[in-house]
């Protein structure tokens, strides 16, 4: 099952068509995205038998973020060994966690205004929490996840890396710095939920590529470790980390410029496109 939001309303998406959950369920299920995710079992039961007659044509560029205003956004630093190495760190022994404040979350094709500084890319697979919970066992963790989507953890490096010790969250939270989408896909619909391939391009040039099977802390482990401290709520997002190939570690370093377009793809999910402006 593929789901997202259209004009702020929860929709199921199939073959270029969107089905409004609230309308198609005769008003029995919510239109608000987090309220819908709070009824996850009912939503999946409805989707299994839904009548698609009232669906409307939709393009990826019409869709908003799968969860436009999540309550909690977790992000994981250094979750791939080659990226930890390029950043000059040994792989962490526990997940290194920061937040992207929720106002940075944007849809799959938002224009992003570049703030002053040095803005870098980080393609990431993003887990969307459905059922959620507190102290979730790793063996049950996939059941807490409604879907996965494609995201960019856009990062302004001057702010991120200034100060001793540095702080991650603010420099990664400018408006538009958390584009996600175009839809979220339930784990059962992926060819292999533990081995998801993804890649990105800047103006057609390859930037980063990876597979989630290379994560130091895989998605179920992240769900277990995060929920050991914070109850995970429906609609929460987990940005699961980026592989090697960030601009900050290129020789010479390379940052996003106005007029450039960043394309990011998660196999089985789709693509997001960000155009950068002054």
- Given the rule CB under 5 A, which residues bind Zn ion? 122, 153, 242
Residue closer to Zn ion, measured from CB, 57 or 165? 165
Q: How far is Cα 273 from Cα 83, in angstroms, rounded to an integer? A: 23
- From the CB of 189, what's the least distance to Zn ion, in Å? 25
Q: For Zn ion, which is the closer residue by CB, 64 or 120?
A: 120
How many CA atoms within 13 Å lie on the side-chain side of 266? 32
Nearer to Zn ion by C-beta: 153 or 156? Answer: 153
Give me the residues paired with residue 277 across strands. 113
The angle at the Cα of 204, spanning 200 to 209, to the nearest 5 degrees, equals 25
Residue among 210, 200, 231 nearest 74 (CA) = 231
Question: What's the sign of the alpha-carbon dihedral 205, 119, 95, 178?
Answer: negative
- State the minimum distance, in angstroms, from the CB of residue 240 to Zn ion: 8
Residue closest to Zn ion when measured from CB atoms: 153
Structure tokens at 192: 């292999």
Nearer CB in complex with Zn ion: 12/73: 73
Q: Using CB atoms within 10 A of its CB, is residue 69 exposed (0-12), middle (13-18) or buried (19+)?
A: middle
Q: How far is the CB of 75 from Zn ion (least distance, A)?
A: 6
Nearer to Zn ion, 64 or 153 (CB): 153
Q: How many CB atoms lie within 10 A of CB 66?
A: 35
Shortest Cβ distance from residue 145 to Zn ion (Å)?
18
CB of 34 to Zn ion, least distance (A): 23
């Amino acid at each position: 099952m593929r789901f997202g939001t259209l004009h702020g309303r929860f929709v199921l998406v199939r073959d270029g068509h969107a089905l409004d959950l609230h309308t198609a369920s005769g008003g029995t299920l919510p239109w608000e995205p987090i309220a819908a995710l709070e009824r996850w079992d009912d939503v999946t039961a409805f989707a299994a038998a839904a009548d698609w007659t009232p669906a409307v044509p939709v393009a990826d560029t019409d869709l908003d973020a799968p969860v436009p205003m999540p309550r909690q956004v977790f992000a994981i630093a250094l979750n791939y060994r080659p990226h930890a190495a390029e950043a000059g760190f040994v792989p962490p022994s526990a997940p290194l966690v920061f937040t992207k404040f929720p106002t940075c979350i944007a849809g799959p094709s938002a224009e992003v205004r570049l703030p002053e500084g040095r803005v870098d890319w980080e393609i990431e697979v993003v887990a969307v929490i459905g059922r959620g919970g507190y102290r979730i066992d790793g063996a049950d963790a996939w059941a807490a996840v409604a879907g996965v989507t494609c995201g960019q953890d856009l990062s302004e490096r001057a702010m991120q890396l200034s100060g001793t010790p540095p702080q991650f969250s603010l420099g990664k939270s400018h408006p538009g710095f958390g584009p996600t989408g175009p839809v979220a896909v339930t784990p059962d619909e992926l060819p292999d939920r533990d081995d998801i391939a993804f890649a990105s391009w800047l103006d057609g040039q390859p930037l980063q590529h990876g597979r989630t099977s290379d994560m130091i802390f895989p998605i179920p482990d992240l769900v277990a470790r995060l929920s050991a401290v914070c109850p995970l709520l429906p609609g929460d997002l987990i940005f699961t980390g980026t592989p090697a190939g960030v601009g900050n570690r290129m020789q010479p370093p390379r940052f996003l410029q106005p007029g450039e377009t960043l394309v990011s793809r998660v196999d089985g999910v789709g693509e997001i496109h960000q155009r950068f402006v002054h």
